[in-house]
């Protein structure tokens, strides 16, 4: 015999369907692709309400451009002049560099070495135009006198510059407005003086001579002209 039909079952089923419908309308449905969460709000740097970073180790701090620069220590004389000048020249070079911020030992020495070769060859060939640019008046007058005397005697000099073996700043000083630097040159040349008939009357056309010259150059430190001029010469063999 079958159980009699219970009408309460239908009532409970209707209530369950109504509850499911309300939940669906409130929560909605989820598809296969979830939407991205909204991007976090980045606060301006000046916002005092901005929270501190969660991890300070991940923060890259930029240098403060408004902070004063720390003064750099001045290089020592050893760092500036060793290998370029003898120790006795260091105080004078320091004084020159203090008066002329553009002065640098290596570049001066390179220029002096080039001037040495130019002057030696210009004197041998009698090139007064080149000598005028490189020599102080008194030295130029002496060189010019020797060149004219040589020409009057019918003589000429043949000089070959073989090598520059060493150039070192021997001494330096700031004398009033003028910087003076003496350079010791060790070089090799071949030089021969010939008479009007071509005969060698002094020196040798084949033998190399070791030259040791101590030349002094000068320049006003306040001058815009960067060129140094030869003001004194001293030669020893």
Condensed to tens digits (0 to 9), the pLDDT of residues 76-124 reads 767 789 889 999 999 999 999 999 999 999 999 999 999 999 999 999 9
Domain layout of the chain by residue ranges: 78-236
Model pLDDT, residue 82? 86
The model carries a pTM of 0.67
Tell which CATH classification among 3.10.450.240, 3.40.50.300, 3.30.70.3450, 3.10.310.10 matches the domain 78-236.
Answer: 3.10.450.240
Q: Which two tokens stand for residue 67?
A: 């902070």
C-alpha to C-alpha distance for 15 and 9, rounded to whole angstroms: 10
What pLDDT, on a 0 to 100 scale, did the predictor assign at position 44? Answer: 45
What DSSP assignment string belongs to 137-170?
Answer: HHHHHHHHHHHHHHHHTT-EEEEEEEEEEEEEEE
* Cα distance between residue 162 and residue 144, in whole Å: 24
In sequence order, what are the beta bridge partners of 183? 169, 215
Q: Is 176 exposed, middle or buried (0-12, 13-18, 19+ CB in 10 A)?
A: exposed
Contact 231, 139 (CB under 8 A): yes
Q: Which of 219, 11, 207, 22 is nearest to 111 (CA)?
A: 219
In tens, the pLDDT along 128-154 reads 999 999 999 999 999 999 999 999 999
């Amino acid at each position: 015999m079958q159980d009699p039909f219970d009408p309460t079952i239908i009532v409970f089923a209707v209530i369950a369907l109504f509850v499911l419908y309300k939940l669906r309308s409130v929560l909605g449905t989820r598809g296969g692709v979830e939407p991205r969460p909204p991007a976090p709000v980045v606060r301006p740097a000046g916002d005092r309400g901005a929270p501190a970073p969660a991890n300070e180790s991940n923060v890259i701090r930029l240098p403060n451009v408004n902070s004063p620069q720390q003064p750099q220590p001045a290089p020592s004389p050893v760092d500036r002049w060793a290998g370029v000048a003898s120790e006795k020249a260091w105080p004078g070079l320091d004084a020159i560099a203090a008066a002329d911020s553009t002065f640098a030992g290596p570049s001066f020495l390179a220029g002096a070495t080039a001037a040495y070769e130019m002057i030696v060859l210009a004197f041998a060939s009698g090139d007064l135009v080149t000598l005028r640019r490189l020599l102080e008046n008194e030295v130029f007058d002496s060189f010019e006198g020797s060149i004219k005397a040589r020409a009057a005697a019918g003589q000429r000099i043949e000089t070959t510059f073989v090598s520059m073996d060493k150039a070192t700043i021997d001494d330096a000083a700031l004398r009033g407005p003028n910087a003076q630097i003496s350079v010791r040159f060790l070089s090799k040349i071949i030089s021969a003086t010939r008479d009007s008939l071509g005969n060698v009357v002094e020196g040798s056309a084949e033998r190399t001579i070791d030259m040791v010259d101590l030349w002094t150059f000068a320049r006003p430190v306040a001058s815009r002209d960067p060129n140094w001029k030869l003001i004194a010469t001293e030669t020893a063999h």
